[in-house]
Every structure is written in structure tokens, then in C-alpha cells.
Amino acid sequence: APPVGDTGDVGRSENKFGALLRDQALSQMRELVDSGYQGPVYLGSAKADGKVMHLGDWSEILPWSPLNKSLI
């Protein structure tokens, strides 16, 4: 779902998908989980194959932190 409002809050979606993580993406997800982070995440360069997303060395998994136009 696209960001909502002026602050870029995460929108809700009923869409669900599976994901295969490996290499850098798996390391980044483990770091987030180990740190206790429980918020939304940004999935960068995820490759879609039906209802499965593939993430690896070409991907980024980061805590969701939108840039506001007023800051650019």
C-alpha cells in the first residue's frame, strides 16, 4: 500500500505474500529482529514471482522511515 498522509504513515493492505530471503537481505532481517524492531519495513529491489518475493544481495530490508518533501 502507498504511504498515507503528510508524514508517510504506512497504509494497510489485505494483500499477503511469501518471501524467500538469502544473503544480504537475510542478514538485514536478522539484524532487525535481533534488535527488537517491530515496526514496518521497506523492501527494496524485491523480485516478484507470483505470490512469492525473492530478496538477496541485490535487495535492501530497512526500517520504514519516509523522507518528507519538506526535508528535501
Residue 6 lies in a domain: no
DSSP symbols for 4-56: BTTTTBPPP-----EEEE-HHHHHHHHHHHHTT--S-EEEESPEEETTEEEES
Residue 45 lies in a domain: yes
Residue 59 lies in a domain: yes
pLDDT single digits (tens) 46-58: 999 899 999 999 9
Residue 11 lies in a domain: no
Residue 35 lies in a domain: yes
Residue 7 lies in a domain: no
| Number of domains the chain contains | 1
pLDDT single digits (tens) 14-34: 888 999 999 999 999 999 999
Q: Tell me if the pTM is above 0.85.
A: no
Residue 43 lies in domain:
18-63
Residue 9 lies in a domain: no
Residue 34 lies in a domain: yes
